Structure formats: C-alpha cells, structure tokens
Structure 1
C-alpha cells in the first residue's frame, strides 16, 4: 500500500486498479453525485474507462504529493477519496498562483463521522507544511451545506459566490456555487493560536 498520509483514524493511500468496484460504487451513488458534475450517478463503464484511469494517471502527471487518495480505516479499505491538486474547477482561478484545490467524496455510510474533515485538514496541512503552497481553495454548490461545513472546519473561509450558466442545471444550482480559501499566512496564524 502506497501511503500518502496517516491521521488519527485514516490512512490516505494511492488508488489502484483494484479499487474499481469501490470507485464505481462511489461514483454510481445518487446521494454522492447529487451536487457533483451533472448531478447524476456515473455508469460503471464511464468509471472504468475514464474516471479511474484519469485518477491513476495523476500520480505520474502531477508533482509528488498531489493527486487523489483513497480513504481507509482499520476496519474499511475504502470510505471514499480526498484529493489535493492544482486548482482547476469551474469558478477557481487557475495557473501557477492559483493554489492547490482540496476535494473529497465519501460513501454515504461514512458520512457524519468527521472523516471528510479529518482528511481535508490533513491535506491542508500537507499543502502548506510539505508542499509550500501559498493558498488552498475549494468550490462546491451553495446548497451543499455538508461540504461547506467540512471546508469551514478545515479552516477555509467563504470568499465569494458565483453563478455559472451550466448546460444542464441541477436542483440547487440557481443558488450558485461558492469558493472557499485559506492562505498560508492565515494557516500559520491559526496554528499560533
């Protein structure tokens, strides 16, 4: 197992082709996908042919320490994933000064246990302490209160709301999307308190 990070309860490890059934379950869940992409579950074919190969390819394309990491505990080998990548989502600044984007996706059985927050905190810490990022950013739908709470608990603050003209809007998109951010100086000041 290629471990990226360990927290009190989680191991963040590299995804592998053996994770295909678990990633298919994750991306095929209507509850998980409700606020993501087009709001619809992904087909097993799309996960096998596009999603998992793209995630695995990140380990070669991105700098060391960046990518998408499976979340595991002593009792479960796959709860979902957490990612740290160069900012690229719609609504975020991109390019060399854009910072690193944190994201997560967990199976519904793992919701409400603090795993997303624990993983996000670990990746934020890694972004600043190991990777020397200037800022960490994230985006979600304004109505995704669960994801917004995770970002706030991880230290990020809401910086703006934006409205995108999505080709196939999903319920809640009329309320917009939100951008969250934490700068290196804010993170450093928070650690001193």
Structure 2
C-alpha cells in the first residue's frame, strides 16, 4: 500500500502521522531547544508522547475532512524534520484554523518552516474551505514571528496568559498573527 502524502513542496513532504512515528516525535519533543518556547525546554516522556501527543497529532477532524497535523520529511532523503499544523479551532468546520510548526534544530534557518507554512496556507484557502488562519507564539520568539510574517500573516495583538508555571520570556506576553482568505487572494492579485 502506498503511503498517503498530504502535501509536497519543493523540499518537503507532509504526510499523516502513524504510531510508527513515536520515536521521531519523542526525539523532537525531547530537545530542550525545540521546546524552549513551548514549556521552557522540558522534554516530554515516552508515555506522554504515546498516550497524549501522538494521538493528538493523529486526530482526524471530520468537519475539516482531514487531520490537523502532518509529519514533515525532507523530500529527497525522507528524513523526519518535525511537524506542521493547520487545525480547525472549532469542530463545526474549517472557517478558522491554527497554523503551527515544530522542527528539529538541524532544520532551522533553512526556510523549511516558511516553505511548509506557505504551502499549508495555500492549500487551506484553495482546497479546504479555510477563511482565516491564525497563529500564536511567545512575543520573544523572534524566529517564529519572522516565519509568520514571511508566510503573509500580520500581527493582530499581544496578550498575557496567567500561566501556572511561567517560562522565561512569558512576562512579555504572547502574540497573535492572522491572515484572511480575502487578504491572501488580494496579495496574489486574485478575486475572491
């Protein structure tokens, strides 16, 4: 049986997660630098990956007609790079989705995050019925903010959460970025 591919770009393959990805996800979520802006760098246990994180990455959203997370691989070598998210915020449809990504350090600074994010935004607006894409990150996560801006999202607001165990930089807040289908098409010179 051929493996299902959700999306390909010039350098990436995005495919559904399977239970066989446990060790790859464990390694990704076990890197303190990868997790720095997520939980302060604490690695997730194998049990947490198996019982909580991998099932979330494998969840099918019936109203969306697909999953919300995809494993990202190098298109040439098929090496696991991390994951991308384009997930509906409500179970009743794909009108508003959240964009996200988490990549291994060896994939940082090479344009993979921007390439994958742009391709997902395009697919969302052209094939999946998405009307608005949002993304959130820590205000101090300048690398992620740059990816969001290169993807076409614009800054919406800064907000503050009352975290029970705040991590370094949390005092600067979280930022939200967004892009509507109308604005995306306008930038491309297309009519809605």
TM-score normalised over the length of structure 2: 0.90
In the other structure, the counterpart of 1:69 is: 70
| Closer/same/farther in 2, CA of residues 71 and 55 from structure 1, 3 Å limit | same
Mapped to 1, the partners of 2:125 and 2:85 lie a distance apart of 15
Q: How many residues align?
A: 187
Moved >3 Å (runs of 4+) = 94-98
In the other structure, the counterpart of 2:43 is: 41
Deviation of 1:62 after TM superposition, in Å, equals: 5.6
Mapped to 1, the partners of 2:150 and 2:88 lie a distance apart of 21
Q: Which has the higher strand share?
A: 2
| Closer/same/farther in 2, CA of residues 171 and 107 from structure 1, 3 Å limit | same
Contact 1:66–1:85 under 8 Å retained in 2: yes
Mapped to 2, the partners of 1:66 and 1:128 lie a distance apart of 16
- In structure 1, list runs of 5 or more residues that go unmatched: 89-93
**Aligned-residue RMSD, C-alpha:** 2.0
> 2:169 aligned with 1:168, yes or no?
no
Mapped to 2, the partners of 1:95 and 1:53 lie a distance apart of 20
In the other structure, the counterpart of 2:114 is: 117
Contact 2:60–2:67 under 8 Å retained in 1: yes
Mapped to 2, the partners of 1:97 and 1:113 lie a distance apart of 30
